[in-house]
Amino acid sequence: MTTDRRRRLPGQRIRRLRAAARRRGFTLIEMMVSLAAGLLISAAAFLMARNASRFFQAESGITSAQYQLVMGMSRLQADLRRASFMTSPNIGADPRLCGSTAGWPAGMLDLAGIHIQQGGSAIRHPGDHGLSVFNGLDPDALIIGGVFGTTEQYAVQAINNAAGGLTVYLQEDGAMWRTRQKIAEGGYGLTDIFRPGRFLRILDQEGRMAYGIITGVNPANPNPSVTLSNAPALPIRATTGTCGCEGFCTGAIASPVVRMLYDLRAIDTNIYPQYAGLYARSGHAETAFHRGPNEAARTELVRVELDQAGNEIPASL
């Protein structure tokens, strides 16, 4: 009995040692290795998530830029279709122009259907095109002249010469009634169509054109009227002898002419604060409206109206 029990002791000890080994905890080295491996895996997962977020944000930005490009080009195509629409293709060489261009402001003298300014974007906004210069680019500017906002031809009822300028009364004809119907449906009104700073083309009974500068509009119903500046003066037949209105100019056609500028620039958020959300920085200060990455060198395709002097009308951007 004693001999058999002693023989079984080594086996029992081995089993007890094995059971104890299975029940023991981690050593400090094993714990440190496990923690380091866990941190490494967590950091890798976080890094992958961050990179994926940046990737999808970049993809979203590219998609948005492509959509905006399509929208901008569609608008540009629509405006190009109206180049020279109810106006002169080149005011300096138009045989239908009545009178002289002497005394005209710069914007009227530059009236043309399409005017391409080579390198115009960089010339107008040199501080916005550092990347363009770096990449060897010299973006142009485009000015389109035509009638925008309406396709109607408004007949003249009478032109009255007053101390504050000429008053052009418009007839209550089909064009006026269609315009009033569009106003009721949310379309452009007379105050939008005949904005101050635009040109008013007067087409006389013989198809000759004269131009004046719009200073105001009275959309009263009936008897709507448009006020023109005294300078430059509208030519009349009694003065020219060959063209221009006779009497009250009844039956002549009036059309509002617009010059629209397209160029590339960074939006000046001091002039256009409503667009501050496009940029991470506005005047070198973080803007609370920004929802994207910092794009200090970002430029936009801008469409803005020009007045009679060739200056931009900020409210039209």
Share of the chain above pLDDT 70, in %: 85
Q: What 3-state DSSP class applies to 287?
A: coil
Longest distance between any two alpha carbons in the chain, whole Å: 149
Q: Where are the domains of the chain?
A: 2-58, 82-316
Is the distance from CB of 212 to CB of 202 less than 8 angstroms?
yes
Sheet strands (E) in the chain:
114-117, 141-146, 154-162, 165-170, 199-203, 209-218, 225-228, 253-265, 300-306
Dist. CA 220–CA 217, nearest whole Å: 9
67-89 pLDDT, tens digit per residue, is 888 998 999 999 999 999 999 99
pLDDT at 202: 95
Is the distance from CB of 230 to CB of 118 less than 8 angstroms?
no
Dihedral in degrees, nearest 10, Cα atoms 133, 135, 140, 141? -70
For the chain, the average pLDDT equals 85
- For 45, 199, 213, 271, the CA distances from 256, given in Å and listed in that order, are 62, 6, 9, 26
106 pLDDT band, cuts 50/70/90, is: very high
Is the distance from CB of 201 to CB of 209 less than 8 angstroms?
yes
pLDDT surpasses 90 at 299: no
Of residues 143 and 103, more confidently modeled? 143
282 pLDDT band, cuts 50/70/90, is: very low
pTM: 0.77
By CB atoms closer than 10 A (0-12, 13-18, 19+), residue 90 is: middle
Q: Is the peptide bond preceding residue 222 cis, with omega within 30 degrees of 0? A: yes
Query: Which of these, 169, 106, 51, 113, lies nearest to 306 by C-alpha position?
Result: 106
116-142 pLDDT, tens digit per residue, is 999 999 999 999 998 888 899 999 999
pLDDT at 30: 79
AA letter at 55: F
Instruction: Name, in order, each residue with C-beta under 8 angstroms of 99's C-beta and a sequence gap of 6 or more.
Output: 210, 234, 235, 240, 243, 244
pLDDT surpasses 60 at 4: no
Share of the chain above pLDDT 90, in %: 49
DSSP summary character for residue 180: H
232-249 pLDDT, tens digit per residue, is 988 888 878 788 888 889
DSSP summary character for residue 90: B
Question: How many contiguous H segments (helices) and E segments (strands) does the chain have?
Answer: 8, 9
pLDDT at 186: 83
157-215 pLDDT, tens digit per residue, is 999 987 668 999 999 999 999 999 988 888 888 999 999 999 999 999 889 999 999 99
What pairs with residue 116 in β-bridges?
142
